[in-house]
Structure 1
Amino acid sequence: MASKGVVLIPSNKVRCRNLDPLRFVIKDIRHGNTEAVMKALNSSPELSGIFRARLMADRVPKGRSPLVTASQHNRIDLLHYILENYQANLEQETSTDIEGGHPVEGATPLWTASTLGHIDIVSDLIRRGANIEHTTDSRSSPLRGAAFDGHLDVVKYLIERGADIDKPNQVGQSPLTIAAAMKKEETVKYLLEKKANIHHKGHNGDTPLHVAVESGSSEITKLLVEAGAKNIPNDVGYTPAIMACCYGHQDIMNYLNSTFVLEQQELYDCYCLLVAKEVLSSDLSAALDWLLKAIEVRNAHPLISAELDKRPLEDIYDKMREPSTEAEARAILRNNMESFFLCAMYCERILGAIHPTTPFYIRISGDMALEESRHDKCMQLWLRSLQFDNAARMAYELQIIEDLLFSVRGFCSMLDAGYVPQIHQHFQWGVKEFKMAKESKISEVDVAYCLCRMLAVWFKVLEHSPENKSEERKRLDSAVETLVSLMEGKETPLLVACLHDITGAPKTNSAVTSVANAKLPLHSVVEVLIENGCPVNCEDLVGNFPLHLAVKLKEDSSLDCVKTLIEYGAHLDAVNHCNESALSLAKKKEGYRKNNQEIIDLLTLSLHRDLSLQCISAATIVKEGLSYVGVLPSFLISFVSEHDTDGLVTQESEEEGEGKLEEESSISTTDSSVNS
């Protein structure tokens, strides 16, 4: 076993100031303080020189572009001042948070102003020569950005000045497609008047009509149909009518059926999908109504029945068939598990593997089996859901996190019932989702949080499987190595393992609260991560060390994790950017958990026992305000700064500086050299 002590790090990982020299100017631009901006730039030739250079850069980090800041906050007067007094690159790119709060990389001033509907800034930038077709990294044009939020005045202005009306982004969404998806009815009307391509095909061959019915907008669906849109299948075989039923939009399906007169097989499939939506909503009366309609269509057309009868009966669904009589229908709907078995069967047959709805229903079927203590059946269904191609699920980021959390909760339930689940295949699935997270809106931190909890359950599995403990431990160790390797240079797994809650799901979600409150041996995960090279002293972006985070864990996990971190050399008196130590955070928890005093006593005793002269000296330097950057050796600068509260980051990031966009996540890997 590795030595339990200090984890040293490279000397270039030094906490030092990385503050933008223009930060106050940018702040004044953001708040529209023209006088303050003029005063700052006119009174300092050095600052003015930095400002000039910044304006000419091709790309700058998030929050550091004067032009994008002025465009984002609609500061037209400041934009005029800047452009009339300085030479500027109107095509400057940066990262900004606009669409749904997600970061947009490569945003220009014109794209930003267009997306936010700031027509005066849009017109001014175009008058000065801004490129009307300059796209973001995801190939979103200013017109597409304006159509996203339905800024009709900007859409009209851009089209009148020659913007490409059908220019798609990287997933094939044209301005008409995105306006239809976002239910921007007036924008859709205008784009149709201007002859936008109503048959434009995007991702999976989806037309504007496909996305309109998916969004549930009856008005836009009618607009598109009246303009010539057809109920034709996309590249994976889904018609708009099938899509409407997949999302439970009955009124749209009825309209499409009355307009296009659906073929009987398609009508039968539509009714089946509506059954699934009603079962999910627990409206069994409505589910029965749609199921009886489906049976009526089936029995009226022998070819449909003949094809269904040819399908093999599968053990995984207890050899169920799609019902052909009212008695069969009523019997199935009286049984919760069989109801979801039927829904999963419908989705597999109609939607296939690529649609996210299919693995969703298969997984719920597994949950129903778990409720009936059919643990083998549950595992079979869960594993079946993993076998499907889940690439399309990347648009359903919350569902993925929930699936991971439900797995953890389900494994805990199985172990409590004496059943030992196989973890490794689900862990591999989580690893796959982590690798794909960058291509979607999923937080890598949230996926890693789930993987750490899965590792904790895995340690419980070891306790319940003595006959093959050695083999299972090898699998677990391999999984830990995979996780550490995946997150190298990203958020350190140790910080994530000590998080008390997930960031990407509602706190009211039952899976989130169940996993957060579960009695899991997280301290074993903490220990094995440290043994695999994760530094015990590292920070997130607000200066929290693993020890800070461990103190915030639920009572069943907090004490053991704190003990483990201290045993491995956690820096006891390090403060975060709010000047809080782990001990001060623990004291805030007084009265909220049973063993809180035990944690406080442990931290207090450890501080008295282990506090070194080095720590006392560092605290004195900070308290007296003595200068130490550039005076002390680099590893001591790092150590002293852990007692400081100035919100510091790595020298390495200072060196990368202007050329690297800031990371989305709230966790960073600033390792620290410690000798407490």
Structure 2
Amino acid sequence: MDLRTAVYNAARDGKLQLLQRLLSGRGREELDELTGEAAGAGTPLLIAARHGHLEVVEYLVDRCGASVEAGGAVHFDGETIEGAPPLWAAAAAGHLDVVRSLLRRGASVNRTTRTNSTPLRAACFDGHLEVVRYLVGEHRADLEVANRHGHTCLMISCYKGHREIARYLLEQGARVNRRSAKGNTALHDCAESGSLEILQLLLGCRARMERDGYGMTPLLAASVTGHTNIVEYLIQEQPAPPGPPAGLPRRGEEEEEEEQEQAAARAAGPRESCCPASREAAVEALELLGATYVDKKRDLLGALKHWRRAMELRHQGGAALPRPEPPQPVLAYGCAREAATPEELEALVADPDQMRMQALLIRERILGPAHPDTSYYIRYRGAVYADAGNFERCIRLWRYALDMQQSSLEPLSPMTASSFLSFAELFSYVLQDRAARGGPGTQIGFPDLMGVLCKGVREVERALQLPKEPGDAAQFTKALAIILHLLFLLEKVEASPEQQHFKHQTVYRLLKCAPRGKNGFTPLHMAADKETTSVGRYPVGRFPSLQVVKVLLDCGADPDSRDFDNNTPLHVAAQNNCPAIMNALIEAGAHMDATNAFKKTAYELLDEKLLARSTIQPFNYLTLQCLAARALDKNKIPYKGFIPEELEAFIELH
């Protein structure tokens, strides 16, 4: 164990005497190095603050000159928080004595992590009321600093159900109607967490029933999460909620801003009321709550009870509220339609499968295709069918969900990527199961795989049509890898000549986009790379794959394409010790003597112990052109501007 690790461990374990022996008598430069941040582990001061070792904290600051502001990585509940200052860690863990000590030693009360989380927000997250009171009451911590998602301290305390912290923040003037980046308010967070007492507190402080970026009110948010107590409170007739907490102070600027917001709201016309909800809002909330009872709580009788109430309310007073019907039955739902009469509703009791389709229909109608829950529960229902062996029904539902995601979400969204991966894993499982049984078994074939492959290529095309580069390079690489896995699986199913031609057309479309994964890898590089094998939790295809390489080459992939390190697919195949793939690339015209950025040929990268090194003879593939190009480069003979551009590229290849 080196000295730096020993210092870190002593600070973590609170061993002050050991730490003193390790650090005493050290010079300034050495102390700075030993108390600085270790790779991915934070500073000794940060880790001591996180574990509440007060004496160690004060020794490191007072005697060793450790910076009270130096951020680092710290672990909480299985999550790594990057750029966390010591004060944040102490506040998050609820160590009030350490918080006091750090602030007395000059720590900034509002210093944030990389995700813009303040020490106050950290204390609110885990419900450390005394730390919250101290940060705000004694050091005027800013209540309104939001994290990168726009979530404030009030929002997180409502979401986590910390009533007394929410009450205290409101008493200190926290803005009750502040919106996050996705448009939700503290009232939404409260409805999702199911805390009725905090919800009443917010309403008493003039919280408004706003719609978030998905069009969700707090009432609908409570229905989606299954908090019946919140739904019942918001839809029933009731007196006005209690007023704000006694003695609630108002800061001048915030009071003026709140009044301006309310004036603008009055000028814009009537808003949706908060208590009680309108009849239409109450009907939708009960219908959606019933859908949640089906899919989340697995309580079909409870769902039927809420749907009965919704139907009674919809037809109350003889004037039925209209309900939009889909223009045509959805095949993925078995062409089911929503029950329109009490008789049709009661008939669902005898058919649980129809009840499950009702839940999907209701959720899609109320939430719309863009809401994550709509496609999530379609996929969930498909997975249930797959577990029961009904793969055909599963694929129908999943394809419908994928169409929905591609029509309403940004290209390569995490949800869409998850859908593609699920398809690849399902197809792999079914084909392996069929092979193990030694017969045709489940009817999954070329059209199923090809349909998803086409959608995958379309997703890549959509991503590359954006005005900027794909935002997440890792996500884009994963999308390309999944496409290659689908190609791998396609090679395992029978296909007619027409189907093979269609497959080649689709692969050509992909190559025409010139997509690039990590380090500038083309699909051909990735097909020759063993790391392409890992795309999810379950095995799909195995790479390097000679079959996928051949398909790509047949469709026009450039065997001499370069990554960011000037490696050709031949270099990648050599690094992965794949002589069969190397031979396929050479036969397709790859230059055996092409060098990468480190002046290495593919042959030089081959494992010396590999038998293929003796069977692949580079001299058999050299031409006079290759030798001349290498001679020009080796002798540093100027050639640019004196020869055609095509020849310049050829020389640079060598």
Q: TM-score range, shorter-chain basis? A: 0.5 to 0.7
Provide Cα deviations, 1:146-173, integer angstroms capped at 9, x if missing partner: 1111111211110011101222112111
How has the CA–CA distance of structure 1 residues 368 and 482 changed in structure 2, closer, same or farther, with 3 Å as cutoff?
farther
| Identity across the alignment (%) | 24
Considering Cα pairs closer than 8 Å and 6+ residues apart, tell me whether 1 or 2 has the greater RCO. 1
2:422 matched residue in structure 1: 405
Contact 1:244 1:252 in 2 (8 A): yes
Structure 2: runs of 5 or more not aligned: 239-274, 435-441, 467-471, 550-566, 583-606, 614-654
Q: Deviations over 1:129-160 (max 9, x none)?
A: 11111111211111011111111121111001
Displacement after TM superposition at 1:418 (Å): 4.2
Give the aligned residue type for 1:417.
Answer: Q
Contact 2:379 2:398 in 1 (8 A): no
Q: Which residue matches 1:456?
A: 485
Residue 257 of structure 1 and its aligned partner are, at CA, apart by 1.8
Distance (whole Å) between structure 2 residues aligned to residue 348 and residue 38 of structure 1: 64
Of the three residues 379, 386, 391, the one matched with 2:405 is: 386
Contact 2:74 2:82 in 1 (8 A): yes
Matched, 1:107 2:107: no
Aligned equivalents of 1:306, 1:26: Cα separation in 2: 67
Distance 2:462 2:140 in 1: 41
How far 1:85 sits from its partner (Å)?
A: 2.1
Any idea what the Cα deviations from partners look like across 1:219-262, whole Å, max 9, x if unmatched? 33333334443434335432211110011111211122234222
Query: Residues 432-475 of structure 1: CA distance to partner in whole angstroms, max 9, x if unpaired?
Result: 99999xxxxx9969x97897566434323233324232542564
In the TM superposition, residue 400 of structure 1 has moved relative to its aligned partner by 6.8
Bigger Rg, which one:
2
Among candidates 12, 19, 27, match of residue 37 of structure 1: 19
Contact 2:85 2:113 in 1 (8 A): yes
C-alpha deviation, 1:71, in angstroms: 1.5
Q: Partner residue of 2:162?
A: 184
Correspondence for 2:590: none
Among 25, 47, 57, the residue aligned to 2:7 = 25
Q: 1:159 to 1:481 in 2, by over 3 A?
A: farther
1:589-626 Cα shifts (integer Å, max 9, x gaps): xxxxxxxxxxxxxxxxx9998699xxxxxxxxxxxxxx
Instruction: Report whether the alignment pairs 1:50 with 2:30.
Output: yes
Work out whether residues 420 and 456 of structure 2, in 8 Å CA contact, stay in contact via their aligned partners in 1: no
**Structure 1 equivalent of residue 278 of structure 2:** 263
2:150 counterpart (153, 172, 176): 172
Q: Cα distance, 1:330 vs. partner?
A: 3.9
Change (3 A) 1:28 1:412: closer
- What residue in structure 2 maps to residue 283 of structure 1? 299
| Amino acid aligned to 2:123 | A
Q: By how many angstroms is 1:79 displaced?
A: 1.8
- 1:357 aligned to 2:373? yes
Give distance in 1, aligned partners of 2:541 and 2:366.
43
How far, CA to CA, are the matches of 1:478 and 1:426 in structure 2? 12
Q: Counterparts of 2:608 and 2:351 in 1: how far apart (Å)?
A: 59
User: What does the per-residue CA deviation read over 1:378-435, in whole Å, with 9 as the maximum and x for residues that have no partner?
Assistant: 46413323225447998x98x9747732553157548941443122255458879999
Q: Conserved in 2, the CA contact under 8 Å of 1:268 and 1:298?
A: yes
CA contact (8 A) 1:298 1:324 kept: no
Mapped to 1, the partners of 2:547 and 2:29 lie a distance apart of 51
2:112 to 126, 135, 139: 135
| Deviations 1:525-575, CA, capped at 9 Å, x for gaps | 48758994684798xxxxxxx9xxxxxxxxxxxxxxxxx869779xxxxxx
- The residue number in structure 1 matching 2:503 is 472
What is the match of residue 75 of structure 1?
53
Change over 3 Å in CA distance of 1:535–1:608 after alignment to 2: closer
How far has the Cα of 1:36 moved from its partner? 2.8
Moved more, 453-462 or 236-245: 453-462
Q: Secondary structure at the match of 2:488?
A: helix
How far does the alpha carbon of each residue in 1:469-511 deviate from its partner, in whole angstroms, 9 at most, with x for none? 2542564587699999333389x99565455972xxxxxxxxx
Q: Give the TM-score taking structure 1 as reference length.
A: 0.64
Structure 1 531/273 Cα, relative in aligned 2: closer, same or farther at 3 Å? Answer: farther
Q: How does 1:156-167 map to 2 (within 5 A)?
A: 156-160=133-137, 161-167=139-145
* Aligned-residue offset at 1:74: 2.0
> Cα 1:387–1:64, aligned 2, differ >3 Å: closer, same or farther?
closer
The alpha-carbon distance between structure 1 residues 237 and 124, as it changes in their structure 2 partners (threshold 3 A), is: same
Contact 1:71–1:112, Cα closer than 8 Å, also in 2 = yes
**Contact in 2 for aligned 1:241/1:270 (Cα 8 Å):** yes
Q: Is 1:348 matched with 2:325? A: no
**What is the root-mean-square deviation of aligned Cα atoms in Å?**
4.4
Tell whether 2:278 aligns with 1:300.
no
Q: Could you tell me which of 92, 110, 118 is aligned with 2:70?
A: 92
Amino acid at match of 2:5: R
**Shift of residue 302, structure 1, vs aligned partner:** 6.6
Residues 54 and 376 of structure 1, relative CA distance in 2, 3 Å threshold? closer
